Structure 1
Amino acid sequence: MLLAPQPTSAHPLRLVVCFLLLCGAGVLASPIITAGCPDRCVCDDQFVVQCAGQHLTTFPVNLPLATRQLIISNNRISELPPLALNYLSDLVYLDCSNNTLTEISESTFGNLRKLAYLDLSFNTLHRIEDRTFGPLASLVMLRMTDNPGLSDIHPDAFLENEALQVLDVSRNNLTALNITSLIALPTLRSVGLSGNPWSCQCDNEDLCLWVHLETFKFQDEGQTVCGSPADMQGRRLSEVGIQLRTLCHQSLDSLDYLFFVVIGFVIFAAGTVSAWLMGVVMVLYERYIKKKDDQLELENEEEGIEMDNASRGRTDRGNRSLKTSHTV
């Protein structure tokens, strides 16, 4: 007896078709925002993702959304993609040290408002813009050491990091640093500046004086020395602070007073000559106007005389005509 074949259920087939359609349409979650663990990384139940020393050349994908600590140090990563990084809104610890990062865009840390620790040491950064760290309202410690090409930090780079307590920019290529935003940070207690070729001239006077007045804040203060000019090379910034204050705000000497006297005399002479010339011009102008008025008045008088003569002539001719008519 042959058994009739059982009808094949179409339900599993429909599931497979739906799965393929979802994949083709891109509806499935991107690996950036899935809850897996990146290749060659270790993820634990404490939301720590460890990817150090894995020879990565790109930022890891497939990161758990709840990641709180991300360690990608000792790789060859050259870029931090803002889209991938900003999905990690719970991130509090980020170690990017010893990579090949060359720049950080203004949007890189746009959504990392909980980030408290950031390490960008041993990279190839060149410049820090004004809004690079702006979104990091909770940043407590920033390490940015050993970037040989880092020579410029925008004066407002740390303006919005009011929670910042530790800043280390040692062993870069900085010659000057605008401290306006730094001295305004209420919780800043430790600053590392050593190993930079600092310029100990008047344009960097505020930094040197700050190191002198608040020496206790500066790590390795003894190694924070001048790189230029030649006569100050090797001297500590804390030593030259008061000296620069004196040199850059000297009182006037005899040559300065002589200069002001000469300038005053020149200004006085120029004013006198200008006033005399103005007076001459005004006199000549008044004479010219008076002459024009006299000519105009004379012309009016002559026209009046001519009109009177013409009127008298017409009157005389009328009288003679009248007499002639009476005689006839």
Structure 2
Amino acid sequence: MGPLFLFSVCCFAALWSNGPIEAQPPTTPCPALCICEKWTVNCRRKNLYEIPDNIPPTARYMILAENHFANIQPLEITFLNELLYLDWSDNELEMDYEFIFPGISKLAYLDLSGNKLNAISPHTFSELNRLVFLNLSRNPTIKQIDPNSFVSNSLLTFLDISTCSLEMIDISVFEKVPTLRVLRMMDNSWYCDCALLDFINWMKMPLLGRELLDPEETICHLPKNLTGKPIMEAEAQLDQACILHFSIRVLIFAGLMSCAVFLAGVIAAWLLGVVSVLYNRTIFRTEEEGEYRGIK
């Protein structure tokens, strides 16, 4: 499944309401080191450190792969209002937790694989409302993904988070993107615990046609008894272990509740006894004082 094929599907899904694309390619100059053909600007492997000048504002496909970009300057690309496809793979791009990817209004395909991204937050792609295809693979500094990272990407269909440094991921990352259908997650150090059952059940929901690419290579790293086992085949062991774990937790909770109720009863009885003794002593002392006054 090549990226251009996927992108053709993505573009149809993201841009169906905009009508047909114009028949004429851009006529503005092409960046000196790049190759321009129709609506495509190809700057692959041109030893670039910054966005070149003279990018046609009507460009729809831009390839900046295999260069030396370290950061993204929003003003350099936000003017590309017609851009649908952006390949920024295999560079040195870094993004912190507060970074917001520039709002390119029609962008449907974004490849950021092979960079140095270290945080994916609810802000990162919040301006890309038409995003359909997102490749974040081969970013070894990505160790976690915020549960709300893709809430704003209501058309996101394909997500690649393979070959990162992920160990666990909150199922709500996926649940909050109802359009998500295709995932690639291999080559991560997945810790297969009870939370993974939620992911397996989400993947297997009927009628939604979700697909995990390379399932045999998407394996558990820990615990040791599941090391090397494909995560989609770990359901039986996890079911058994999690039921036992849940039962133990229920028993512990029930035991603690019983102890709490018992202690509460003891304390309540003790307090009642103290109050009763104090009350009786007060009554007895009042009666003695009354008798003493009667004798006088």
Question: In the aligned structure 1, how far is the partner of 2:36 from the partner of 2:176?
Answer: 39
Question: In the aligned structure 2, how far is the partner of 1:234 from the partner of 1:186?
Answer: 30
Greater shift in the superposed pair: 94-103 or 284-293: 284-293
Aligned-partner SS, 1:86: coil
Provide the TM-score with structure 1 as the length reference. Answer: 0.69
Paired position in structure 2 for 1:271: 265
Paired position in structure 2 for 1:311: none
CA change 1:212–1:234 in 2 (3 A) is farther
Paired position in structure 2 for 1:93: 85
Question: In the aligned structure 1, how far is the partner of 2:263 from the partner of 2:149?
Answer: 51
Aligned residues: 265
Unaligned runs of 5+ in 1: 1-34, 302-328
The answer to whether the 8 A contact 1:47-1:67 is kept is yes
Larger radius of gyration: 1
CA change 1:38–1:106 in 2 (3 A) is farther
Q: Deviations over 1:60-96 (max 9, x none)?
A: 3443322322211000101111222222222211110
For residue 265 of structure 1, report the CA deviation from its aligned partner. 5.4
For residue 112 of structure 1, report the CA deviation from its aligned partner. 1.4
For residue 49 of structure 1, report the CA deviation from its aligned partner. 1.9
Question: In the aligned structure 1, how far is the partner of 2:53 from the partner of 2:278?
Answer: 88
Of 37, 45, 48, the residue aligned with 2:40 is: 48
Paired position in structure 2 for 1:218: 212
CA change 1:258–1:64 in 2 (3 A) is closer
For residue 191 of structure 1, report the CA deviation from its aligned partner. 0.9
The answer to whether the 8 A contact 1:86-1:108 is kept is no
Aligned-partner SS, 1:152: coil
Q: Which residues of 2 match residues 178-327 of structure 1 at below 5 A?
A: 178-211=170-203, 217-250=211-244, 252=247, 260=254, 264=258, 267-284=261-278, 287-288=281-282
The answer to whether the 8 A contact 2:220-2:226 is kept is yes
**Identity between Structure 1 and Structure 2 (%):** 33
For residue 139 of structure 1, report the CA deviation from its aligned partner. 1.1
Q: Deviations over 1:106-145 (max 9, x none)?
A: 5643421210100001111122112212221211111111
Question: In the aligned structure 2, how far is the partner of 1:262 from the partner of 1:119?
Answer: 52
The residue identity in structure 2 corresponding to 1:55 is N
CA change 1:292–1:139 in 2 (3 A) is same
Question: In the aligned structure 2, how far is the partner of 1:144 from the partner of 1:210?
Answer: 21
Unaligned runs of 5+ in 2: 1-27
The residue identity in structure 2 corresponding to 1:232 is L
Question: In the aligned structure 2, how far is the partner of 1:76 from the partner of 1:258?
Answer: 56
The residue identity in structure 2 corresponding to 1:91 is L
Q: Which residues of 2 match residues 122-137 of structure 1 at below 5 A?
A: 122-137=114-129
The residue identity in structure 2 corresponding to 1:81 is Q
C-alpha RMSD of matched pairs (Å): 3.5
